[in-house]
């Protein structure tokens, strides 16, 4: 009998079944096996095959990782296959329906060799470009993001060169965005352009706050930019947007009309709220938020490159900065209190953004620091995982091009 790649904790099957209030026969009916097979699984005499692991997890209302004790963010290639409920033969069959699968002559033996970190025979397997193409097709077969397959590949085959994924392609502005800009008059274009610049400046300020561990309000709040206060200028002063428009020579009595004309064509949203002003009390303020359409039109008209997302296997600027901070801490790591907020749900082992979401990248982990003699835990500290360190080393050149201000 071939050695199983994934260990199912048989005690968890019974615990999950009882928690779900199912009898042995009811669970067997849901999975599509006999009563005796389920009994053997719970006793540890037999282990479920790949297709039954997925069915078992679905019947118990849990993830396959809940039956294997695989922490979120530490999945290997075989974890992804079992989570998809596929045998090696089924994976090979689906891959052979693709061009890269045919070029690599994929079969079940090669799938298992890939998962066992063994050499895979075939000349094309030595060519870096094919690994990236295969990763994309595996993501389709397993129904997961490409970045999960890349990470699982690098955990499974740590000595291999990371898969070579295609570079990002630059895109021209959409014709509708160019047309939308051309339909605006000169005054409207100036207003929309200054609103875009103020939005970008505010976004940069929020990024700096994150880097300095200062709390950041939700984007739905800070994207609403102060446009004007309903109070005398000598008392309330001018907002940053008013000052920008004044410098451009277009801030006058018609400012409100121009703003609302942009709202009517879907370029901005205008709202009002009240704000406390020292020495004055509560006053009304007008807020403006650039819409997706407005942002696209302004970028197209002003020649501002769109904020394209990083390649699918790379991190955002914010998360890359967090990973560098942890990796740069060296053997000492960072105290657990030094990392807070949402970054943990995207980077840390054992975390995921939402209950049903895909796991984190697993680039950092919390490790205990023991007292002398290992008598008790003194504290917990954040460290980069082996995969996190490999990710930094493998992709730092690509990140340098994306985020020049962040370097290891």
CATH number at residue 226: 1.10.10
Residue 90 and residue 187 in one domain: no
CA distance 17 to 39: 11
Residue 217 and residue 143 in one domain: no
Q: What Rg value do the Cα atoms of the chain yield, rounded?
A: 27
Residue 373 and residue 264 in one domain: no
Residue 31 and residue 151 in one domain: yes
| Total domains present in the chain | 3
Residue 208 and residue 297 in one domain: yes
Q: Exposure of 238 by Cβ count < 10 A (0-12 exposed, 13-18 middle, 19+ buried)?
A: middle
Residue 318 pLDDT: 86
Residue 90 and residue 117 in one domain: yes
40 assigned to some structural domain: yes
Residue 32 and residue 111 in one domain: yes
List beta partners, residue 371: none
Residue 105 and residue 184 in one domain: no
Q: What is the mean pLDDT of each run of 10 residues along the chain (408 residues)?
A: 60 88 91 90 84 86 79 90 90 96 95 94 86 94 94 94 74 86 94 92 80 77 90 80 89 88 96 82 90 93 76 88 93 90 89 79 94 89 96 92 80
Residue 224 and residue 353 in one domain: no
Task: Give the predicted TM-score (pTM) of the model.
Answer: 0.68
Residue after which a domain boundary falls, among 122, 156, 190: 156
Residue 146 and residue 14 in one domain: yes
Note down the domain range covering 334. 317-402
Question: 33-56: buried (b, 16+ CB within 10 Å) or exposed (e) per residue?
Answer: beeebbebbbeeeeebebbbbbbb
353 assigned to some structural domain: yes
Question: 253-287: buried (b, 16+ CB within 10 Å) or exposed (e) per residue?
Answer: eebeebbebbbebebbeeeeeeeeeeeeeeeebbb
Residue 3 pLDDT: 43
- Maximum distance among all Cα pairs of the chain, rounded to whole angstroms: 85
């Amino acid at each position: 009998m071939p050695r199983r790649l994934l260990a199912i904790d048989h005690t968890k099957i019974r615990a999950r079944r009882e928690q779900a209030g199912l009898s042995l026969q009811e669970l067997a009916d849901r999975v599509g096996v006999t009563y005796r097979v389920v009994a053997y699984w719970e006793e540890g005499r037999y282990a479920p095959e790949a297709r039954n692991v997925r069915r078992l997890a679905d019947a118990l209302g849990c993830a396959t990782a809940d039956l294997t004790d695989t922490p979120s963010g530490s999945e290997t290639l075989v974890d992804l296959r079992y989570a998809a409920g596929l045998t090696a033969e089924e994976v090979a069959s689906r891959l052979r329906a693709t061009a890269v699968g045919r070029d690599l002559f994929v079969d079940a033996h090669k799938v298992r060799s890939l998962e066992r970190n063994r050499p895979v025979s075939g000349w094309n397997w030595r060519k870096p470009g094919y690994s990236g193409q295969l990763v994309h097709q595996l993501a389709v077969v397993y129904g997961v993001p490409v970045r999960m397959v890349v990470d699982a590949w690098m955990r499974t085959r740590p000595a291999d060169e990371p898969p070579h994924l295609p570079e990002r392609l630059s895109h021209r502005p959409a014709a509708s965005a160019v047309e939308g800009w051309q339909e605006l008059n000169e005054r409207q274009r100036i207003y929309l352009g200054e609103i875009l610049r103020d939005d970008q400046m505010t976004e940069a300020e929020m990024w700096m706050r994150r880097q300095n561990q200062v709390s950041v309000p939700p984007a739905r709040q800070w994207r609403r930019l102060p446009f004007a206060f309903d109070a005398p200028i000598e008392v309330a002063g001018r907002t940053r947007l008013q000052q920008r428009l004044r410098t451009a020579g277009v801030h006058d009595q018609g400012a409100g009309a121009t703003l609302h004309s942009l709202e009517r064509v879907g370029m901005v949203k205008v709202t009002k709220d009240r704000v406390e002003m020292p020495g004055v009390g509560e006053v009304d303020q007008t807020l403006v938020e650039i819409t997706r359409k407005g942002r696209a039109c302004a970028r197209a008209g002003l020649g501002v490159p769109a904020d394209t997302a990083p390649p699918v296997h790379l991190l955002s600027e914010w998360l890359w900065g967090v990973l560098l901070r942890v990796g740069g801490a060296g053997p000492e790591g960072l105290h657990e209190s030094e990392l807070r907020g949402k970054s943990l749900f995207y980077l840390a082992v054992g975390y995921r953004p939402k209950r049903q979401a895909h796991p984190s990248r697993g680039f950092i982990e919390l490790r205990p620091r023991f007292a002398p003699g290992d008598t008790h835990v003194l504290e917990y500290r954040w460290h980069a995982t082996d995969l996190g360190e490999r990710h930094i080393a493998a992709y730092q050149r690509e990140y340098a091009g994306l985020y020049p201000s962040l370097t290891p």
